[in-house]
């Protein structure tokens, strides 16, 4: 249970770091490409403020289902904090990864969240790193470039994907 988020039943940060280390080792020893997407629900505080924390919890659970439905069986989904999620994609080309993440953004934007008679939509911002972009040596650097890309998405208007750039 310690490795699962109790609200969404997704993996949590405890397993994320171990899984990423495994992917990094696989990349350097066997050239197995991978990607990490850091995803944040835009203006999540507004949902809690306008509709209540139960509505916010509902959005988190339903968004977790959207994430799981978009991924492949080999992909892993994590809730790493409040409204922040990580998607790990193993052995998928960079171009296809980018297409998949743009599809996820579109699917989330068009999804109607329903809670106790209230209907609303949400958008997501995303930072994406893929091994085809440039190599990273360790977990710390990987989180740094992916987090930086996420914040660029937010700074540039949210509801978008930004690819990671070198440090």
Active site residues: 83
Long-range contacts for 43-51 (Cβ within 8 Å, ≥24 apart)?
43/122, 43/158, 44/82, 44/83, 44/122, 47/120, 47/122, 51/115, 51/118, 51/120
For residues 130 and 38, is the Cβ–Cβ distance under 8 A? no
The DSSP letter of residue 160 is: S
For residues 128 and 36, is the Cβ–Cβ distance under 8 A? yes
Report residue 71 as tokens: 């991924």
CB within 8 Å of 155: residues ≥ 6 apart: none
Gap between the Cα atoms of 42 and 147, Å rounded: 15
Q: Which of 134, 119, 136, 149 is nearest to 38 (CA)?
A: 149
């Amino acid at each position: 249970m310690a490795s699962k988020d109790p609200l969404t039943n997704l993996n949590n940060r405890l397993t994320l770091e171990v899984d990423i280390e495994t992917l990094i080792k696989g990349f350097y020893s066997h050239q197995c490409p991978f990607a990490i997407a850091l995803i944040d629900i835009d203006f999540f505080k507004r949902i809690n403020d306008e509709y209540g924390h139960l509505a916010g919890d509902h959005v988190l659970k339903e968004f977790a289902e959207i994430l799981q439905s978009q991924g492949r069986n080999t992909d892993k989904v994590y809730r790493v904090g409040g409204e922040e999620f990580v998607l790990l994609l193993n052995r998928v080309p960079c171009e296809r990864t980018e297409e998949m993440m743009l599809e996820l953004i579109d699917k989330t934007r068009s999804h109607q969240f329903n809670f106790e008679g209230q209907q609303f939509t949400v958008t997501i911002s995303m930072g994406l790193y893929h091994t085809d972009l440039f190599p990273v040596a360790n977990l710390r650097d990987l989180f740094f470039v992916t987090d930086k890309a996420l914040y660029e998405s937010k700074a540039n208007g949210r509801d978008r994907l930004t690819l990671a750039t070198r440090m």
